[in-house]
Amino acid sequence: MSDQIDHYRAEFPITQQYTFLSHAAVSSPSRRVSAAVQHAMQQFLAQPFTVYLPEIMTLNEELIERIVRLIGARGRDEVVLMPNTAAGLNTVAASLPLQAGDNILVLDGDYPANVYPWWNLTYRGILTKMVPSHEGGLDLNRLEQRIDRRTRVIALSTVMFATGFRNDIAAVGQLCKERNIFFVVDAIQSLGAFSMDVQSSHIDALACGSQKWLLSTPGSGFLYCRRELLDTLVPGAYVGASSVTDSYNYLDYNFTSPPGAERFNLGTPNIAGMVALHSAIGLLLEVGIEAIADRIGNLVDLLIRSLLERGYTLAASADPSHRSGIVVVRTPHAEHICQRLVDAHVIVTSRGTGVRIAPHFYNTDEEILHCVDLLAQADHT
């Protein structure tokens, strides 16, 4: 992988002026993503949409297949495009067969997109309960203690956005399978950085946006639903012209849902976002997710060692099994440090009382060490 870094690094123009270590926020896309979107816009300028439509339909099919490959789904019928992670999670929350008196477990410290859609079900008499976090993430024993006979859903992020703790998704999935509980996952802080197998992890539904580790542009994403789960879901939030079978027969008002995840389509998709995500996932698959994970792991190991050597503490457990692509450094001067680093063209983010550093595969060891040096300098001035 190291011999390919320069080749792929050249794909990201932001590296010419910045040390970009904020992939847990909004990433900067590659040249090929930009070129793909520009091509799409040129097609719109040069010809009617109806002429360009076959190319778009083919690209859409290819994108779904790439997502299937990326997450280990069984087929394209389990995946539908979404505008962002929250849209996917809301779709599932509104469609699950839940009853008054049922409860849902979420993790304290999780991102609001995986909390509010469940809280929003309170009007139906459905209770959302918080599981206290431990060392920055999920403790399986604490989770088990809060499961009762009316627990129907466990909703969890693969990685905690504010600490970098990587939750044991496979263990939670196995627990949910044994207890007959729906398992819903927000994968935006890991997909594109680490491998995902929705089948072996017993995930019922997974949502992910495009703008972080997938290295695409904001405004697109997808929802995965396990094939068997789809048979129990009824579109409960929104429906549109594309939510039914034979959707192009506009005046045949046949309100019958398609058999697969496409029942959650609403209407005309975000073409630019679709094109960008198609190109972005293509790049990740070309590099190889395992190679990317190894590279990020090495960068994170270097980052953690360098920080610990300087006496810093981390927001999450240092256990390697819970490491992700995110490292959060505890400091009372987080905002000041972040601004100093940004002024020096080193892009990180402030989250609470910590500085969040999130490298991707095209970053270098030198950038990591430079970031730590500047962080230490800023912390003492």
* 3-state secondary structure at position 242: helix
pLDDT tens, residue by residue, 222-246: 999 999 999 888 877 678 877 777 7
Is the confidence at residue 347, as pLDDT, over 70? yes
Which sign, positive or negative, has the C-alpha torsion 346, 351, 356, 358?
negative
Q: How far apart are CA 107 and CA 112, in angstroms?
A: 10
Residue 252 confidence class, pLDDT cut points 50, 70, 90:
confident
The predicted structure's pLDDT at residue 2: 66
Q: Which residue blocks in the chain are alpha helix, DSSP H? A: 5-9, 31-46, 49-71, 85-95, 116-119, 140-145, 169-179, 227-230, 271-287, 289-309, 334-343, 365-379
In the chain the domains, ranked by start, together with CATH numbers, are: 2-29+289-379 (3.90.1150.10), 38-285 (3.40.640.10)
Q: In this structure, are residues 85 and 159 in contact, taking their beta carbons and an 8 Å threshold? A: no
- Rounding to the nearest 10 degrees, give the CA dihedral for residues 99, 102, 105, 106: 40
Q: Within 13 Å and on the Cβ side, how many CA atoms surround 298?
A: 14
The interaxial angle of helices 365-379 and 334-343, nearest 10 deg, is 130
Tell me which residue of 13, 15, 7, 11 sits closest to 363, measured CA to CA.
Answer: 15
Is the confidence at residue 248, as pLDDT, over 80? no
pLDDT tens, residue by residue, 302-313: 999 999 999 999
Q: How far apart are CA 114 and CA 161, in angstroms?
A: 11
pLDDT tens, residue by residue, 155-196: 999 999 999 999 999 999 999 999 999 999 999 999 999 999
pLDDT tens, residue by residue, 202-224: 999 999 999 999 999 999 999 99
Is the confidence at residue 150, as pLDDT, over 90? yes
Which of 22-31, 127-136, 255-264, 359-368 has the lowest average pLDDT?
Answer: 255-264
Q: At residue 112, what is the residue type? A: P
Q: In this structure, are residues 331 and 29 in contact, taking their beta carbons and an 8 Å threshold? A: no
Q: How far apart are CA 21 and CA 27, in angstroms?
A: 9
